[in-house]
Amino acid sequence: MEKKPRLQRNEAEGNRTAGAEYNAAQQRFVRSGKVDEKAREAEKAIEGKERDALKEAELVGRRHATEEDPEIKR
Q: Could you tell me if residue 7 is inside a domain?
A: no
Domain of residue 53: give its range: 16-68
Residue 47, in any domain of the structure: yes
What is the average pLDDT score of the chain? 85
Query: Total structural domains in the chain?
Result: 1
CB 20 within 8 A of CB 28: no
The pTM for the full model equals 0.58
pLDDT for residue 71: 63
Residues 6 or more apart whose Cβ sits within 8 Å of residue 14: none
What does the pLDDT look like over 7-47, one tens digit per residue? Answer: 767 777 778 888 999 999 999 999 999 999 999 999 999 99
In a domain, 63, yes or no: yes
Specify the pLDDT at position 63: 86
Q: How confident is the model at residue 68, as a pLDDT?
A: 67
Residue 72 scores a pLDDT above 70: no
What's the rounded Cα separation, in Å, for the pair 38 and 69?
A: 31
Residue 59 lies in a domain: yes
Q: Has residue 69 got a pLDDT over 60?
A: yes
* Residue at 1 is within a domain: no
- Position 60 in a domain: yes
